[in-house]
Amino acid sequence: MSSQTSQKVQDAEAWTDFCDLLKKAGDVILREDLDTSLFDRGEGLRYLSRLLRAGLFSFMENPGPTNPVLRPMPEGVRMGLDNPDNYYVSASVNPKLEYRIRGKRETIHYLSFAAQNQNFAARDKITGGAGHLNDSELKLDDEGYFEIHVSQKEKPGNWLRMTEHTRQILVRQTFLDRNKEKPIDAEIECLSSDGPPPPLDPDRVPGSLMGSAMYAIGCAQWFADWVMEFLQIAPLNHFHLPDPEKHRVMGGDPNVRMWLGMWKLEEDEALVIDVTPPKCHYWNFQLANIWAESFDYEHRQVHVNSGHAIYRPDGSLRLIVSHESAGPDEQDSNWIDTAGHDHGVMALRWVRTQAHPKPEVRLVKIEQVRAGLD
């Protein structure tokens, strides 16, 4: 590193540079095309603080690609229409190195591994997912254990392909029932490294701080741009089915297809969604705020999945989105709470299916639902 970099640490100018850059993150909150209220902007500022925590976690506290650890995001960090049924863990990697993931399958309903390039600190270089491996492809031993080789060069057995752009291994684990299922127990190791992480290098601190700020800025802008595309493709309170390549670049699992839309409700209105789910491994519906953060699924009923929904005899179902429950008790499983929001984004996702039936959506008065809507 240069003497200039060392001097930025010595006189703490690196911190000033970090704070100056971080100020730009607030620009996304002021975007006029998002039509944000005071409530939205309050959530937006909280969102930025969460993204900064994620950035600091990734750039300052990360042991690095030679000593990777599969870890969840910091508590409360949500982004990109994160699935309330999912448990995400990830590790940083260097595509020039080789890795091995070992673990036990356990009972989680759906499991997938992805070699990602989702470095929001460098938005222009994001290429999305490369290799993917899901539980239907995973070879297990008689006791349910597995071993995955992670590299650019193909390996026998379970192999997760990296490209020159890969920077992260992301593990998605989807619960059908959180009270009954157990996530995998897994660890990752770098096969090209030996020994503990080295002591902190002061000359790397300025870059790590700037990377943390750029992560928050880039992530906020990336998903705000994505959300604004929704209205360009489909009207308010309607769905569109994104192009698979767009889904891949956004970092999506190729086994998952999502109907996406933007919703808005007055206090006396409800969104009625009728759909017949296709034959699939799993589906769910969720709401999120204008920043594409999932709602408080620990305390409110803000999503529903294929294991908990109430179906009609013909296999179809009706979902009701409203500010308060509008139906009898037996229909409450299909009611989605807006959690104090009057607008945001919504997603209906299928896992492992070839059919993508479009949901029928109607905006009605809440009293029509209570009176027994056809």
Give per-residue pLDDT as tens, 263-272: 999 999 999 9
If pLDDT is split at 50, 70 and 90, which confidence band does 371 have?
Answer: confident
If pLDDT is split at 50, 70 and 90, which confidence band does 330 have?
Answer: very low
CA distance 323 to 350: 25
Taking residue 218's Cβ as centre, other Cβ atoms within 10 Å add up to 21
Give the rounded percent of residues in the chain with a pLDDT score beyond 70: 95
Q: Helices 205-233 and 13-22, interaxial angle, to 10°? A: 0
* Domains identified in the chain, total number: 2
Taking residue 237's Cβ as centre, other Cβ atoms within 10 Å add up to 19
Mean pLDDT to the nearest integer, 245-255: 81
- Predicted pLDDT of residue 299: 94
Same domain, 102 and 161: yes
Residue 219 lies in a domain: no
Q: Which residue has the higher pLDDT, 247 or 238?
A: 238
Residue 118: closest CA among 153, 148, 93, 100:
93
Mean pLDDT to the nearest integer, 277-302: 97
Same domain, 99 and 244: no
Tell me which of 134, 158, 190 is where a domain ends: 190
Mean pLDDT to the nearest integer, 230-237: 94
CA distance 218 to 198: 29
Q: What angle do CA 29, 35, 37 make, to 5 degrees?
A: 70
Mean pLDDT to the nearest integer, 251-270: 94
Same domain, 143 and 91: yes
Dihedral, CA of residue 318, residue 324, residue 328 and residue 330, to nearest 10:
60
Residue 223 lies in a domain: no
Provide the β-strand partners of residue 347.
260, 286
Query: Which CATH number fits the domain that encloses residue 120?
Result: 2.60.120
Same domain, 40 and 163: yes
What are 372's two structure tokens?
Answer: 């027994």
Residue 263 lies in a domain: yes
Secondary structure, 3-state, the chain: CCHHHHHHHHCCHHHHHHHHHHHHHHHHHHCHHHCCCHHHHHHHHHHHHHHHHHHHHHHCCCCCCCCCCCECCCCCCCCCCCCCCEEEEEEECCCCCCEEEEEECCCCCEEEEEEEECCHHHHHHCCEEEEEEECCCCCCCCCCEEEEEEECCCCCCEEEECCCCCCEEEEEEECCCCCCCCCCEEEEEECCCCCCCCCCCHHHHHHHHHHHHHHHHHHHHHHHHHHHHHHHHCCCCEEECCCHHHHHHCCCCCCEEEEEEEEECCCCEEEEEEECCCCCCEEEEEEECCCCCECCCCCCCCEEECCCCCCCCCCCEEEEEECCCCCCHHHHHHEEECCCCCEEEEEEEEECCCCCCCCEEEEEEHHHHHCCCC
Same domain, 15 and 113: yes
Query: Which CATH number fits the domain that encloses residue 357?
Result: 2.60.120.600
Tell me the residue range of the domain where 102 lies.
3-190
CA distance 288 to 291: 8
Residue 209 lies in a domain: no
Q: Which residue has the higher pLDDT, 243 or 220?
A: 220
Same domain, 110 and 34: yes
Most confidently modeled range among 120-129, 159-168, 194-203, 247-256: 159-168
Same domain, 57 and 133: yes
Residue 275 lies in a domain: yes
Q: What angle do CA 50, 52, 56 make, to 5 degrees?
A: 120
Which stretch of 43-47, 100-104, 153-157, 331-335 has the lowest confidence by average pLDDT? Answer: 331-335
Same domain, 173 and 26: yes
What are 251's two structure tokens?
Answer: 């970092």
If pLDDT is split at 50, 70 and 90, which confidence band does 35 have?
Answer: confident
Same domain, 181 and 265: no
Residue 199 lies in a domain: no
Same domain, 167 and 253: no
Question: 37-47: per-residue pLDDT in tens?
Answer: 999 999 999 99
Same domain, 51 and 173: yes
Residue 204 lies in a domain: no
Question: Does residue 127 surpass a pLDDT of 60?
Answer: no
Residue 197 lies in a domain: no
If pLDDT is split at 50, 70 and 90, which confidence band does 331 have?
Answer: low
Same domain, 332 and 277: yes
Question: Does residue 332 surpass a pLDDT of 90?
Answer: no
Question: Does residue 366 surpass a pLDDT of 80?
Answer: yes
CA distance 353 to 277: 10
Question: 158-187: per-residue pLDDT in tens?
Answer: 999 999 989 999 999 999 999 999 999 999
- Predicted pLDDT of residue 62: 87
Give the predicted TM-score (pTM) of the model.
0.93
